[in-house]
A and B are shown apart, each in its own frame.
Chain A
Amino acid sequence: MRSGTAIGRVRGLGSAKSGTHHWLNQRLTAGSNFLLVVWLLISILRQPSFDYAAMHLWLSNPWAAIPMVLLVASIFYHMRLGLQVVIEDYEQDQNRVALLVVMNLFVFTIAAIAIFSILKIAFGAAA
């Protein structure tokens, strides 16, 4: 198994069985990212002001809070898939595994903080 070319080692092992899942989800989230980012850009351009009251009022509305949760979910998933490919391309062996673990921790942690924050604003009564 350790000798020969890369293709020689791969031959006979069959398909990896999971390649298209990653590829397809990257494309599907690209589509949902596009719609959600267009919403975000238009929302930013339509803000009367960027002070605390305006931002809090904006995100406390379900019409902003729900798309924002969807945006975080869609973009952060796309981001996870993209960073995974970058790490797999440039890192080998132990470094690759370690970085993939760190990257997943990073993405899931900030996603949790983001979604918690949005819900806190949205459910935080009429402040």
Chain B
Amino acid sequence: MAARNTARPLSPHLQIWKWGPNMLVSILHRATGTGMATVGAALLVWFLAAVAAGPESYATFRDVFTVQSGGLNIIGYVVGIGLTACLFQHMANGIRHLFMDVGAGFELKSNKLQAQATMIFAVVMTVAFWLYLGIK
């Protein structure tokens, strides 16, 4: 890219805008996507490779996230709940983006409501997922 003409002003950035749900979910979409693409992808691959390599490798993988009795430890809960929350937020906002791609939902009020709905969906689904996993 050609060098920027420093005499020209930059557009105002994050610190100048009033926070709203729309910009929050937009930022969350990037953050959750990048988080899953790095931490989530690495863990998925480690899990698959560990199962493929045999019982000892899988035990090494499992011991990082579980206590002796087989339940999750702190790392297991933080990573597990973190990744599922990221997934549900990214999923909900991704679906919202598909509607916006066809030109729907740009009215100020409904756009704000959808943005809030994605976060509510993420929290509800994460709680429901872990409750079901816990009860089962």
Query: Is A50 at the interface (CB under 8 A from chain B)?
Result: yes
By the criterion CB–CB under 8 Å, are A121 and B51 in contact? yes
Which of B17-25, B42-50, B107-115 has 4 or more CB atoms under 8 Å from chain A? B42-50
Closest partner residue, chain B, to A34 (CB atom): B91
Closest partner residue, chain B, to A96 (CB atom): B1
Query: Is A86 at the interface (CB under 8 A from chain B)?
Result: yes
On chain A, the residues within 8 Å of B87 by CB distance are: 37
Which size class do A's interface residues fall under? 35 or more
> Could you mark each residue 43-79 of chain A with 1 if its beta carbon is under 8 Å from any beta carbon of chain B, else 0?
0110000111001100100000000100010011001
Closest partner residue, chain A, to B36 (CB atom): A79
A-contacting residues, B21-55, CB 8 Å? 30, 33-34, 36-37, 41-42, 44-45, 48-49, 51-55
User: Mostly helix, strand, loop or mixed at chain A's interface?
Assistant: helix
Report how far A94 CA is from B89 CA in the complex, Å: 33
Given known A-B contacts A30-B94, A83-B37, A45 and B129 have beta carbons under 8 A apart? yes
Report how far A9 CA is from B3 CA in the complex, Å: 12
Query: Is B64 at the interface (CB under 8 A from chain A)?
Result: no
User: Mostly helix, strand, loop or mixed at chain B's interface?
Assistant: helix
> Could you mark each residue 50-67 of chain B with 1 if its beta carbon is under 8 Å from any beta carbon of chain A, else 0?
011111001100100000
Between B2, B41, B48, B132, the greatest number of chain A beta carbons within 10 A of the residue's beta carbon is seen for B48
By the criterion CB–CB under 8 Å, are A34 and B95 in contact? yes
By the criterion CB–CB under 8 Å, are A50 and B62 in contact? yes
Query: Is B13 at the interface (CB under 8 A from chain A)?
Result: no
Given known A-B contacts A34-B95, A45-B133, A9 and B52 have beta carbons under 8 A apart? no
Closest partner residue, chain A, to B87 (CB atom): A37
Report how far A67 CA is from B3 CA in the complex, Å: 47
